[in-house]
Structure 1
Amino acid sequence: MILVTGATGTVGRALVDRLVAAKTPVRALTRRPAAAKLPEAVDVVAGDLGDPTSIAAALRGVDRVFLLTTGPEIPVHDANLLHEAARAGVTHVVKLSSGRTGDDTATDPIPSWHRLGEQALRDSGLAWTILGPLGFMANALHWADSIRHQDSVFAAYGHGRIAVTDEHDIAAVAATVLTSDGHDGRTYRLSGPEALSPGEMTAVLADVLGRPLRFIEVEPARARQAIVDHGVSELMADAIMALRATALESFTSTVHPTVAEITGIRPNSFKEWAARHIADFA
């Protein structure tokens, strides 16, 4: 049995669907099981990574775990799960981290939170594998509202590039690592097939949608305020803006062959990702 945390999110749901298709027993940990809308084959259990008791119950009969945590609670939530996983006899944990933990100059919040989680994993005594995407194609979904209503994309750091990865490719790597041998103690940096700027991604979306779109670069302070206006905390807004600024660095624009090496299939392009998400932007 594989336990998937973050199972209702973008990557977690893609992984659950892939495991179900392969007829691999899978359990999903979620705070709101009634709203999960997961396949019937999935054993959906209620739990919170901030509550060790609920984690212990979810781990009964589990031998492998996909660990997906977000936000400032990453170090605590990772530690909670790893402690209970060791007690439950789990054999292997695969953590979805940040590709930027491999950049020693990245001292902003998100890679720093993930480094603490990675260290807890290494210290846990469990077999482990770390997956570190440099960026997510799915982050472009944040532009959906302005594309639908203004035919425009507003973003800071317009000339920065990130080799973003399709969530289905991340899930494919995770499924392979969780169900095959030879990945213990490995850290895999993941990327898509090319590094793209926000303007280049806008041009791809325009091509796929078949209508002109404008890319408008905004000042970082304005972009940060827009995040706060959407109800995100000041702490997370700062972390998100620091993450976006890394598009200006060469580290996040490096293309890695890892997806193809592990899965045997080339990674999806941003155009292929966009074609799959037309309904979100139309």
Structure 2
Amino acid sequence: MILVTGATGTVGRELVGQLLARGVRMRAMTRRPELAELPDDIEMVRADLGDPDSLTAAMRGVDRVFLLSSGPEIPTHDANLAQAAARAGVEHIVKLSSGRTGDDTATDPIPTWHRAGEQAVRDSGVPWTMVRPLGFMANALHWVGSIRDHGAVYAPFGQGSIAVVDPHDIAAVATSALTTESHEGQIYTLSGPQPLSPGEQTEILADVLGRPLRYIEVAPATARQSLIDHGVQDEMADAIMALRATALEAFTSVVHPTVEHITGVLPRPFRVWAENHRAHFARAA
């Protein structure tokens, strides 16, 4: 039995679908099962990484866990999960981490939180695999509103580029780590097939959508305020902006062969992701 935490998120939904396609027994964990909108034949459990007592029932009968956590509570949440897994006799934890956790110079919040979370998993004694994507293609969905209202993408750090990866490919690597052997103790840094700047992503989206789009670079302070205006707390807004700024560094533009090595399939390019999500942008058009 595989327990999938974060089952309603971008990567979690992809993982659930891929495990379901393989006929793997799984349990999807969420704080609000009634809003999950997952297939009816998937076992659901109500639990919260911030509530250790709720994890006891979630772990019953589980031998492998996919761990997805986010925000400033990553160290605590990962420790809660890892300790519950150890008590339950879980055999393997696959943690979704951050690509920049592997960058020794990265001292900004998100990689720092994930380093502590990774250490909590290691300290639990449960065998582990760390999956570290450099960036998510799905973050482009944040631009739907500005494409709708202005035919434009507003983003900072226009000179930077990140080798973003499709959540489908992240889930494919996690699926392999959860269902096949020889992944224990491995760290997998994932990328897409090419580094892209915000302007280059905008050009691809325009071509896929068949309409002109402009990329307009905004100041980091403006981008931060936009996050806050959309309900993001100050601490998290600062962490997101620090992560976005790393697009200017060489580390995040490196292409890694990991997806193909683990899955036997080349990682999907951003164009394929955009085509698969055209409906999101088409509704906005």
Instruction: State the TM-score bracket (shorter-chain normalisation).
Output: over 0.9
Q: Superposed, which structure 2 residues align to 1:38-117 within 5 Å?
A: 38-117=38-117
1:12 equivalent in structure 2:
12
- 2:41 is paired with a residue whose SS is coil
Q: Which runs of 5+ in 2 are unaligned?
A: none
* Alignment of structure 1 residues 150-229 onto 2, 5 Å: 150-229=150-229
Taking the aligned partners of 1:53 and 1:72, their CA distance within structure 2 comes to: 20
TM-aligned CA deviation for residue 173 of structure 1: 0.4
Residue identity (%): 68
After superposing the two structures, state which structure 1 stretch, 201-210 or 121-130, moved more.
121-130
Distance 2:160 2:35 in 1: 37
Which residue pairs with 1:24 in the alignment?
24
- Segments of 5+ residues of structure 1 without an aligned counterpart are none
Structure 1 counterpart SS, 2:193: coil
**Matching of residue 248 in structure 1 with residue 248 in structure 2:** yes
1:273 aligns with 273
SS in 2 for 1:272: helix
Q: TM-score, normalised by structure 1?
A: 0.99
> For the residues of structure 1 that align with 2:43 and 2:76, how far apart are their CA atoms?
25
Deviations 1:107-133 (A, max 9, x none): 000000000011111111111000000
Tell me the CA shift for residue 41 of structure 1.
Answer: 2.1
Number of the residue aligned with 1:122: 122
The alignment partner of 1:196 has SS state of coil
Aligned-partner Cα distance in 1 for 2:137–2:198: 11
Provide, for residues 14-57 of structure 1, a one-character-per-residue CA deviation record: whole Å limited to 9, x for no partner: 00011011110110110000000111221111011111111111
Name 2:260's counterpart in structure 1.
Answer: 260
Q: Give, as a single letter, the amino acid of the residue that structure 2 aligns with 1:200.
A: E
C-alpha separation in 1, matches of 2:80 and 2:121: 11
Amino acid at match of 2:118: E
Divergent runs of 4+, >2 A: none
Secondary structure, aligned partner of 1:121 = helix
Take 2:86 and 2:164, find their aligned partners in 1: how far apart are those partners? 33
Instruction: Name the TM-score, length of structure 2 as normaliser.
Output: 0.98
Aligned 8 A contact 1:20 1:41 in 2 = no
Q: Give 3-state SS (helix, strand or coil) of 1:216's partner.
A: strand
> 2:173, 2:272 → 1: CA distance?
18
CA deviations 1:178-203 (Å, max 9, x no partner) are: 00000110000000000000000000
SS of 2:61's equivalent in the other structure is: coil
CA RMSD of the aligned region, Å? 0.5
Aligned-residue offset at 1:148: 1.5
Equivalent position SS for 2:24? coil
- Name the stretch that deviates more: 117-126 or 190-199: 117-126
Q: Distance in 2 between matches of 1:233 and 1:74?
A: 16
